[in-house]
């Protein structure tokens, strides 16, 4: 399909901007859900947009945990976090990111990105990382 002068699609311009930020999940001794044998989930929304996001590309890193490996109480730091792309409350896509690594992605039709800690151990923790995405919007 070719674009003819005067067509509305010919007047569209693609705008890209880079959004970058650090993320942190923190918990304390009361951050468990249910009994200590059930998985503990703590989540944080790290990106949100009004409406549905068009196509975006980017990366999400899981950089540090406050007790990597085993600490004095025998707790083990989460070796990974879950990254979920949401549309409202519905999960559209889930990726797992391991401590010290990152994922690259291209995604569309979501309105939030959430990072979650999943672990069997309650207790004090600080997990941190970075994210950078580039949404592409068309304008008239």
pLDDT tens digits for 100-121? 999 999 988 899 999 988 766 6
Q: Residue 1 — pLDDT band, cuts 50, 70, 90?
A: very low
pLDDT tens digits for 60-100? 999 988 765 555 566 666 788 999 999 999 999 999 999 99
The whole model's pTM is what?
Answer: 0.74
Sorted by sequence, the CB contacts under 8 Å of residue 52 that are 6+ apart come out as: 87, 108, 109, 110, 111
What is the SS3 assignment for 101? strand
Calculate the alpha carbon distances from 11 to 14, 21, 134 in Å: 10, 32, 22
Q: Does the structure show a pLDDT above 70 at 29?
A: no
Mean pLDDT of the chain: 77
């Amino acid at each position: 399909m070719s674009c003819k002068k005067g067509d509305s699609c010919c007047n569209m311009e693609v705008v890209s901007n880079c959004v970058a930020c650090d993320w942190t999940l923190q918990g304390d001794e009361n951050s468990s859900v249910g009994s200590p044998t059930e998985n503990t989930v703590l989540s944080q929304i790290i990106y949100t947009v009004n409406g549905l996001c068009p196509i975006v590309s980017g990366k999400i890193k899981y950089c540090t945990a406050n007790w990597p490996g085993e600490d004095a109480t025998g707790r083990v730091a989460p070796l990974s976090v879950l990254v979920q792309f949401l549309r409202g409350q519905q999960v559209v896509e889930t990726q797992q990111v391991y401590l010290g690594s990152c994922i690259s992605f291209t995604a569309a039709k979501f309105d939030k990105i959430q990072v979650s800690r999943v672990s069997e151990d309650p207790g004090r923790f600080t997990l941190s990382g970075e994210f950078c995405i580039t949404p592409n919007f068309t304008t008239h």
